């Protein structure tokens, strides 16, 4: 199971590059094996084109390295905070993708303006509070978890850290990458919608938001082949 997870996390990190969500070393993906409570994550500062499956770092829930010769991502405490507090989280992705990061730097939530957004997220993509600079990564983790729980973990699968960028989680690392990709597309759509409308926007009506989200993710979901 662990070897398979290492391969999945390795491939997920490469997919971030393919989807143009990261450049240089700007981002990371991780996955967790809930049976062993071991987390696999990208090593810190290693360019994506140099990554190998064997480079993935295995840690326990306290961040202790169990397997690997390299240091884990500096964002590990944030990933661990999500895994510890969101039981359904099976993968976590952090990027500095262009448009999502622009919203984070503007310190504005990404508004839900249409049904494309509502198909994936129930309402705006929220902003966390500003983290403390002391114990920085742990503070970000605390703020990310606080924001997720305040907005409902069953619906809030992406948050923006002000001045920093997005963190996304899903049931596995592959789905987390897909969700990060969708988030970037929605961030770009929202930006261009606002530009086209000269800054005047109207968020999607509640009934359409609920209809589109529930038909895909609700108890009576009927979207797709089931």
DSSP the chain: -HHHHHHHHHHHHHHHHHTTS--TT-EEEEEEETTTTEEEEPBTT--GGG--GGGPEEE-TT--EEE-SSPBPTTHHHHHHHHHH-TT--EEEEE--HHHHHHHHHT--B---SHHHHTT-SS-BPBPPPPPSTTHHHHHHHHHHHHHHHH-TTT--EEEETTTEEEEEESSHHHHHHHHHHHHHHHHHHHHHHHHTTT---PPPHHHHHHHHHHHHSTT--SS--
Tens-level pLDDT at each residue, the chain (226 residues):
899 999 999 999 999 999 999 999 999 999 999 999 999 999 999 999 999 999 999 999 999 999 999 999 999 999 999 999 999 999 999 999 999 999 999 999 999 999 999 999 999 999 999 999 999 999 999 999 999 999 999 889 999 999 999 999 999 999 999 999 999 999 999 999 999 999 888 999 999 999 999 999 888 899 988 6
- Provide the annotated active-site residues: 119, 223
* Structure confidence at residue 171 (pLDDT): 96
């Amino acid at each position: 199971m662990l070897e398979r997870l290492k391969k999945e996390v390795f491939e997920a990190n490469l997919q971030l590059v393919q989807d143009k969500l990261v450049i240089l070393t700007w981002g990371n993906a991780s996955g967790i094996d809930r049976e062993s409570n071991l987390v696999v994550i990208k090593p810190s500062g290693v360019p994506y084109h140099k990554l190998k499956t064997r480079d993935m770092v295995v840690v326990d829930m306290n961040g202790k390295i169990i397997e690997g010769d390299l240091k884990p991502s500096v964002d590990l405490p944030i990933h661990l905070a999500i895994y510890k507090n969101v039981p359904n989280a099976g993968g976590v992705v952090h990027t500095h993708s262009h448009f999502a990061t622009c919203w984070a730097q503007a310190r504005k939530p990404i508004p839900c303006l249409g049904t494309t957004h509502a198909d994936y997220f129930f309402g705006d993509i929220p902003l966390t509070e500003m983290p403390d600079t002391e114990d920085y990564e742990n503070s970000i983790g605390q703020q990310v978890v606080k924001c997720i729980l305040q907005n409902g973990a069953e619906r809030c699968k992406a948050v923006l850290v002000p001045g920093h960028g997005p963190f996304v989680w899903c049931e596995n690392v592959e789905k987390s990458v897909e969700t990060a990709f969708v988030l970037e597309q929605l961030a770009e759509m929202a930006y261009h919608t606002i530009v086209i409308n000269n800054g005047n926007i109207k968020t999607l009506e509640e009934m359409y938001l609920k209809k589109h989200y529930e038909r895909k993710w609700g108890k009576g979901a009927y979207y797709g082949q089931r």
